[in-house]
Amino acid sequence: MDQWLEEIRAALPELVVYQQEPMKKHTTFRVGGPADLYVCPKKQELPVILGLAKKKGLAVTVIGNGSNLLVGDKGIRGLVIEVGAQMNAVEVQGNILRAQAGALLSQVAAKAAAAGLGGMEFAAGIPGSMGGAVTMNAGAYGGEMKDVIRQVTVLTPECEQKVLSREELDLSYRHSCIPKNHFLVLEAELSLTPAPEQEIRAKMAELREKRVEKQPLEYPSAGSTFKRPEGYFAGKLIMDAGLRGYAVGDAQVSEKHCGFVINRGNATAAEILQLMKDVQQRVKKQSGVTLEPEVKMIGEF
């Protein structure tokens, strides 16, 4: 690790490398132990960072806005790369919007609205970044990324850029081909539909109101904790199992929306994980349905 640090500082002297960086600062759950090494690079720095990490046998974890992650209390060994503020450019050309992977969905939706382009209204309130949204085919209120994606540029494990069409991405409910191929999203190109800006903003405001009314936005969380089982709603199954408000330490099933697990202040990753297991067990016993986590667990627990 020291050798990697020495060589990366020589190769990229302007890159800031954080050591023992608390991951709770980088996840919407506000939990997680330290990452051994943490960087937030520019696009052109990625091949150098990844190539040197591979050469030194350094484990690499790539994150976006941390809005769908539960990081273990013992943290993450090796290197964490945040695709974020250094890779967040958004540009519009006709009805095509190009967004780098670090661009926040709220930023992308606002840019689309300002250009009189509809199709991203559903994503305006999702607290994730473009890279994460593409990777998990994020969706809300009847819209999904697969509805608007035209093509995506990724970096392969061999550090080669590759352009994938919507079909090649194999998009389905909360799924794409990106994780299994160990691709890293660099940029997405969206095909949007011209519409009056006023109408687009009215739709975004309507969905914002729904979110505020129904979701526990005042607490740290990772959004919907479980995937929607076919033919059911996870929140309803959890409520019917008598788990509204159920808590393990400071981790709690939201009383406002049972599909959300919240951090009431000082929850640990272990408490959140235990609560999720308890919920799965109780729902399985009550309804026979197996809930699958939507939240991705990384690091050491």
Q: How far apart are CA 264 and CA 253, in angstroms?
A: 10
Q: How far apart are CA 149 and CA 134, in angstroms?
A: 8
Q: How far apart are CA 113 and CA 111, in angstroms?
A: 5
Catalytic choice (224, 228, 254, 271): 224
Catalytic choice (7, 189, 197, 294): 294
The one-character DSSP state at 207 is H
Q: How far apart are CA 230 and CA 87, in angstroms?
A: 36
Q: How far apart are CA 38 and CA 114, in angstroms?
A: 34
Catalytic choice (77, 150, 174, 211): 174
Rg (CA), the chain: 20
Give SS3 for 246.
coil
Residue with tokens 């330490």: 249
How distant, in Å, are the alpha carbons of 23, 130, 134 from that of 300?
A: 12, 26, 26
In terms of DSSP bridges, do strands 76-82 and 34-39 run parallel, antiparallel, or are they unpaired? Answer: parallel
CA within 13 Å, CB half, 235: 13
**Tokens at 273, concatenated:** 């994980």
Whether 174 is catalytic is yes
Whether 224 is catalytic is yes
- Nearest residue to 150 (alpha-carbon basis) of 191, 93, 202: 191
Phi/psi at 263 (5° precision): -105, 110
Q: How far apart are CA 63 and CA 41, in angstroms?
A: 12
**Tokens at 67, concatenated:** 């809005």
Q: Which residues are catalytic?
A: 174, 224, 294
